[in-house]
Structure 1
Amino acid sequence: MDKEEQLITNFRDLFDKMVWINKYKMEDRLKECTPSEVHCIESIEKNADSNVRELAKSLYMTRGAISKLTKKLMAKKLIESYQKPENKKEIYFKLTPQGKEIFKIHEDLHKEFRERDKVVFEQITDEQFDSMLYFVEKYNSHLDAEIKKQGLTIN
Structure 2
Amino acid sequence: MSELAKQLIYDMYVKLLHLNEQKADTDLKALLKQADEADVKRLPGNMTTIHVISCIGHSEPINNTGIAKKMNLSKANITKISSRLLKEGLIKRFQLTDNKKEVYFRLTPSGKQVFELHEKLHQKKAETFDQFLDSFSEPEQSAILKFLQGLTVMAGKKQDVNK
Smaller-chain TM-score range? 0.7 to 0.9
In the alignment, the residues of structure 2 paired with residue 64 and residue 51 of structure 1 have an alpha-carbon distance, to the nearest angstrom, of 13
- Give the CA deviation at 1:25: 1.1
Q: Out of 5, 10, 13, which is 2:15 matched to?
A: 13
The within-5 A match list for 1:94-105 is 94-105=106-117
Asked whether the equivalents of residues 133 and 141 of structure 2 are also in contact (C-alpha less than 8 Å), the reply is: no
AA aligned to 2:19 is K
User: How many residues get paired?
Assistant: 148
In the alignment, the residues of structure 1 paired with residue 145 and residue 107 of structure 2 have an alpha-carbon distance, to the nearest angstrom, of 32
Secondary structure, aligned partner of 2:135:
coil
- For structure 1, the residue ranges without an aligned partner over 5 or more in a row are 151-155
Q: Out of 114, 133, 137, which is 1:121 matched to?
A: 133
Secondary structure, aligned partner of 2:89:
coil
- Give the CA deviation at 1:45: 1.7
In the alignment, the residues of structure 2 paired with residue 74 and residue 134 of structure 1 have an alpha-carbon distance, to the nearest angstrom, of 40
Deviates most, 114-123 or 51-60: 114-123
Deviates most, 93-102 or 31-40: 31-40
Query: RCO (CA 8 Å, sep 6+): is it higher in 1 or 2?
Result: 1
In the alignment, the residues of structure 2 paired with residue 142 and residue 19 of structure 1 have an alpha-carbon distance, to the nearest angstrom, of 19
In the alignment, the residues of structure 2 paired with residue 100 and residue 122 of structure 1 have an alpha-carbon distance, to the nearest angstrom, of 32
Asked whether the equivalents of residues 56 and 62 of structure 2 are also in contact (C-alpha less than 8 Å), the reply is: yes
In the alignment, the residues of structure 1 paired with residue 152 and residue 129 of structure 2 have an alpha-carbon distance, to the nearest angstrom, of 24
In the alignment, the residues of structure 2 paired with residue 38 and residue 74 of structure 1 have an alpha-carbon distance, to the nearest angstrom, of 13
AA aligned to 2:98 is E
In the alignment, the residues of structure 2 paired with residue 9 and residue 59 of structure 1 have an alpha-carbon distance, to the nearest angstrom, of 27
Identity percentage of aligned residues: 22
- Give the CA deviation at 1:143: 5.1
TM-score normalised over the length of structure 2: 0.74
AA aligned to 1:58 is K
Cα gap change, 1:19/1:109 in structure 2, threshold over 3 Å: closer, same or farther? farther
TM-score normalised over the length of structure 1: 0.77
Secondary structure, aligned partner of 1:67:
helix
Residue 76 (structure 1) aligns with:
88
Asked whether the equivalents of residues 91 and 107 of structure 2 are also in contact (C-alpha less than 8 Å), the reply is: yes
Cα gap change, 1:69/1:51 in structure 2, threshold over 3 Å: closer, same or farther? same
Quote the RMSD (CA, aligned, Å).
2.7
Task: Report whether the alignment pairs 1:25 with 2:27.
Answer: no
Residue 88 (structure 1) aligns with:
100
In the alignment, the residues of structure 1 paired with residue 130 and residue 71 of structure 2 have an alpha-carbon distance, to the nearest angstrom, of 27
